[in-house]
Amino acid sequence: MKKFSVGQDVTWSSSSNGSTTAKVGVVVAVIPAGKSPDEATWRLHMPGSPRDHDSYVINVGGTEKRRGKNYWPHVWRLKAVEVAA
């Protein structure tokens, strides 16, 4: 299973209503196996069934002045963003 850390940039594709969107965001929380984001931290109001592996909450569009939106994508969809040297 892939491993990511808080602050790491990741990307994934999301599908809804027949269209696919590429999303890029930052890992803001690591959710331990057997927990949902609601159970893992009080700051995240994201209901859902616990997963049997570590998972990650990703923030998209956040800045110092804007919160952005949090997502809880499946780990197999996530890819690390390659940083250009």
Helical H segments across 1-85, by residue range = 37-40
35-40 CB contacts, 8 Å cutoff, 24+ apart: 37/70, 37/72
Question: Which CA distances in Å does 36 have to 33, 51, 60, 66, 72?
Answer: 8, 7, 19, 24, 9
The pTM score is 0.85
Mean pLDDT of 46-71: 88
Q: pLDDT digit string (tens) for 5-29?
A: 999 999 999 888 999 999 999 999 9
